[in-house]
């Protein structure tokens, strides 16, 4: 297995200058193109800018070191509007009009599910970088983010230790919300807990009053939510706090950037994830410093939806270099054989197209940052795509 170590930014200056001197019109067509379909509008619009920033940094660093197989890397970003209809247009444009070499992106499950048939038709490698409900499989897709098999247990186990016996579940009414909470419900019941409510609202819901009234009537020990990432998290949390509900609150879909945007309402939320900004490693510190240098005051908080994007660009680079070509039939098997050492540690997508991940249990602090309470090394993603090699 080959391992790619992501370089520190300060080592890239000379390479960037050399790349700039060598670049010219004659080389314009000699590129590797990465397509990023992402929700710049809709539910994911809160977090999508951070995803694009992570990809931009990775591409800048890679080009400063000579690109991929000597070719300049370029990005093509398309708004999928966080949903199925927008995704179909974005995927079709990127694959068949822009002729991208690979798709690398964080998207809602609705967008991913709508785009996968187009990926399969276009036979383009696709690295999905969003945490999701699991068990979505395609011969062209890899996933470097967490699934419920890795993420749910830390929160539920902690709540049980805190004395929680009854739970109320709230989700967005689509694949991610229902898939995550179906797994959560099963895990809670297997470990002796009781579900006293299970409610869903549309992906674009902004008024949670009726559901929160049911929560207050049920008076659970703990609430666990799984909404579409971004805006629904913000509205639900603000209204939950305003309702004065005091139960333990675990959120399966909030990222650190979105938590910061909530202000004081986010304080006290319990989160389980594979990335928080205060992970104390040289690789993460170097990444954060590079992001700060590149984006300055415009930097969006790096998070568990954006950092996998950064690492996935490097994974694609490593796979192409291992294969010696951008040809999909050679790159796809190579993606399972390369390791990337990045802000989250060493990531290898060798478990049925998914990755073992170090997971963290954290609690949101008053400033929106996350205090890490405990960690769980190399958590297996479980049985995801057994029919795929």
268, 175: one domain? yes
172, 224: one domain? yes
Question: Got the DSSP string for 305-356?
Answer: TTHHHHHHHHHHHHHHHHHTS--HHHHHHHHTTEEEEETTEEEE--BTTB--
Is residue 232, in this structure, part of any structural domain at all? yes
Range of the domain at 333: 29-146+279-355
Per-residue pLDDT at 27 = 40
Number of independent structural domains in the chain: 2
Asked whether residue 38 carries a pLDDT value surpassing 50, the answer given is: yes
80, 171: one domain? no
Asked whether residue 218 carries a pLDDT value surpassing 70, the answer given is: yes
Using one digit for the tens of pLDDT, what is the confidence trace for 352-383?
999 999 999 999 999 888 999 999 999 999 99
User: ∠ CA 240-221-152 to the nearest 5 degrees?
Assistant: 85
Give the end of a domain, one of 217, 241, 273: 273
108, 199: one domain? no
75, 89: one domain? yes
Is residue 385, in this structure, part of any structural domain at all? no
Per-residue pLDDT at 24 = 39
Alpha-carbon span 212 to 245, nearest angstrom: 9
pLDDT band for position 229 (cuts 50, 70, 90): confident
158, 265: one domain? yes
261, 342: one domain? no
Using one digit for the tens of pLDDT, what is the confidence trace for 47-69?
999 999 999 999 999 999 999 99
155, 66: one domain? no
Give the end of a domain, one of 273, 301, 333: 273
What burial class does residue 231 get, using C-beta atoms within 10 Å of its C-beta: 0-12 exposed, 13-18 middle, 19+ buried? buried
Residue 249: give its domain's CATH number.
3.40.50.2300
Is residue 17, in this structure, part of any structural domain at all? no
Mean pLDDT, the chain, as a whole number?
Answer: 93
340, 248: one domain? no
Percentage of residues in the chain with pLDDT exceeding 90? 87
Is residue 54, in this structure, part of any structural domain at all? yes
Is residue 302, in this structure, part of any structural domain at all? yes
Is residue 7, in this structure, part of any structural domain at all? no
Asked whether residue 1 carries a pLDDT value surpassing 90, the answer given is: no
Alpha-carbon span 86 to 107, nearest angstrom: 11
Using one digit for the tens of pLDDT, what is the confidence trace for 296-309?
999 999 999 999 99
Give the end of a domain, one of 253, 273, 293: 273
Sheet containing 31-38, strands listed edge to edge, beginning at the edge strand earlier in sequence: 72-79, 31-38, 102-105, 126-128, 141-143
Asked whether residue 81 carries a pLDDT value surpassing 70, the answer given is: yes
Is residue 15, in this structure, part of any structural domain at all? no
36, 117: one domain? yes
Is residue 21, in this structure, part of any structural domain at all? no
Using one digit for the tens of pLDDT, what is the confidence trace for 255-282?
888 898 899 999 999 999 999 999 999 9
52, 134: one domain? yes
- Least confident segment among 154-158, 218-222, 253-257: 253-257
Looking at the chain, which runs of residues are DSSP E strands?
Answer: 2-5, 31-38, 72-79, 102-105, 126-128, 141-143, 166-172, 194-201, 222-226, 248-251, 270-273, 338-342, 345-348, 357-364, 370-379
33, 102: one domain? yes
């Amino acid at each position: 297995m080959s391992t790619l170590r992501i370089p520190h930014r300060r080592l890239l200056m000379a390479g960037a200058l050399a790349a700039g001197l060598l670049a010219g019109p004659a080389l314009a067509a000699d590129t590797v193109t990465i397509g990023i379909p992402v929700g710049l509008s809709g539910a994911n619009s809160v977090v999508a800018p951070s995803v694009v920033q992570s990809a931009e940094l990775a591409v800048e660093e890679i080009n400063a070191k000579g690109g991929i197989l000597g070719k300049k890397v370029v990005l093509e970003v398309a708004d999928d509007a966080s949903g199925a209809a927008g995704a179909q247009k974005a995927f079709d444009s990127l694959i068949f009009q822009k002729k991208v070499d690979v798709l690398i992106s964080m998207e809602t499950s609705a967008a991913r599910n709508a785009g996968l048939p187009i990926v399969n038709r276009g036979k383009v490698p696709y690295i999905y970088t969003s945490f999701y409900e699991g068990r979505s499989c395609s011969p062209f897709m890899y996933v470097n983010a967490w699934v419920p098999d890795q993420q749910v247990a830390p929160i539920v186990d902690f709540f049980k230790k805190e004395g929680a016996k009854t739970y109320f579940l709230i989700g967005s009414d689509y694949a991610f919300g229902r898939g995550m909470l179906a797994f959560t419900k099963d895990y809670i019941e297997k470990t002796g807990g009781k579900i006293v409510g299970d409610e869903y609202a549309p992906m674009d819901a902004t008024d949670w009053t009726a559901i929160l009234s049911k929560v207050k009537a049920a008076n659970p020990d703990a609430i666990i939510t799984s909404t579409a990432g971004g805006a629904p998290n913000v509205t639900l949390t603000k209204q939950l706090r305003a309702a004065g509900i005091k139960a333990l609150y675990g959120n399966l879909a909030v990222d650190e950037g979105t938590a910061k945007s909530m202000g004081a309402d986010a304080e006290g939320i319990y989160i389980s994830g594979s990335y928080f900004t205060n992970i104390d490693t040289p690789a993460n510190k170097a990444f954060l410093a590079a992001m700060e240098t590149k984006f300055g005051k415009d930097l969006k908080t790096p998070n568990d939806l954006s950092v996998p994007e950064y690492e996935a660009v490097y994974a694609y680079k490593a796979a192409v270099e291992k294969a010696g070509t951008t040809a999909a039939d050679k790159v796809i098997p190579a993606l399972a054989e390369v390791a990337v050492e990045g802000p989250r540690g060493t990531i290898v997508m060798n478990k049925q197209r998914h990755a073992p991940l170090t997971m963290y249990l954290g609690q949101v602090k008053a400033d929106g940052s996350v205090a890490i309470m405990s960690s769980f090394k190399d958590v297996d993603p479980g049985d995801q795509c057994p029919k795929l090699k």
